[in-house]
Chains A and B, each alone.
Chain A
């Protein structure tokens, strides 16, 4: 079974530029998550999708961050414009059953904003 796939793995951009990250969850997993992980910190939830619906986006900075999950499969997370403080690892995870809390993570997209 293929795992959660994320791209790009690494991205370096100038501040104020836009950036987008893509995630393909494990087949059959209806729940998809985007997490932010700063250096030396645990992951923090940005947004959770149940199929196409964003059911928890309370931690997503909506002034510059946006996300979509068209057709309830792949998802894209966008930042526009990026700020220096956005440098972090953006993790995508998916789960089949939200009741167990067993999340499967991708390897992450590491963003550096100069």
Chain B
């Protein structure tokens, strides 16, 4: 079993939809949780960063962490075609800097 599980998709939604992307993990030592966005043939770029449990909002994006369930989510409101990309969750423990990534979910927002 992988430390971080993420549905690879692809996920196709119409423009304006609310998108929910999720990851589960097994390592209870993870404390820092990130979402990266990766466009085709580009490197990943940091989208959201959260520490421990709770919600964090940034524009149309909301990140949620539920440590009791070992479950993290990224919500995208009013999705746009420009949001079409692969979304990678990543996490690390408080004492190490190695990031463990999920496999990524490919999102397609259609007109």
Contact = CB atoms under 8 A, between A and B. Distances in A.
Interface of A: 4, 31, 40-45, 48, 56, 91, 93, 95, 98-108, 110
A102 B90 contact: no
Interface string B1-20: 00010101000000000000
Contacts of B43: 4, 91, 93, 105-108
A45 B92 CA distance: 12
Contacts of B42: 107-108
Interface residues of B, number: 22
B101 interface: yes
B97 A31 contact: yes
Interface in B41-98: 41-46, 49, 88, 90, 92, 97-98
Nearest to B49: A102
B110 interface: no
Contacts of A99: 97
Contact of B90 (A42, A91, A106): A42
A43 B49 contact: no
Given A101-B32, A101-B34, A101-B92, A42 B101 contact: yes
B94 to A, nearest CB: 9
Given A101-B34, A105-B44, A106-B43, A42 B97 contact: no
Given A101-B92, A105-B43, A43 B101 contact: yes
Contacts of A103: 44, 46, 99
A102 B6 CA distance: 20
A41 B104 CA distance: 7
A111 B44 CA distance: 17
A2 B98 CA distance: 24
A101 B99 contact: yes
